[in-house]
Amino acid sequence: MIRIGRLLKSFKYALTGLSKAFWEEQNFRIDIFIALFVLFISVYFQIKVWQFIILIIMITLVLILEIINSIFERLIDLLKPRLHQYVKDIKDMTAAAVFIGALASLLIGILIFLPYVIDKFF
């Protein structure tokens, strides 16, 4: 049986984590700003539903990767703060994962929006 109290507590914890990511991680705030801009221009250009779905998936991917990156950074700082080359390597690799996701999102955004921009302004 579903316990409503437990469920509400889990939502509270999730929102607390989301708030912490937003207020303590600059890149997460930048990602949120870009996501809102993308959603705005999606409505402006009235893109197709399947294109909107792809954009939502990519936005979600980048935000999740950003949170995972922050988790790894905090975890390895807690376990072995800056004492080993692997700490730097792990941080660099998780940042690279976010970077790859962001680049893929940018490319997909360009492929989706370029025809609309050309049609509207040229």
For 58-70, the pLDDT digits (tens) are 999 999 999 999 9
pTM of the model: 0.90
> Which domains, from first to last, does the chain contain?
31-121 (1.10.287)
Over the stretch 85-121, which tens digit does the pLDDT of each residue have? Answer: 888 899 999 999 999 999 999 999 999 999 999 999 9
Paired tokens of 15: 């929102």
Q: Are 21 and 59 in contact (CB under 8 A)?
A: no
Largest Cα–Cα separation, the chain: 59
Confidence band of 80 (pLDDT split at 50, 70, 90): confident
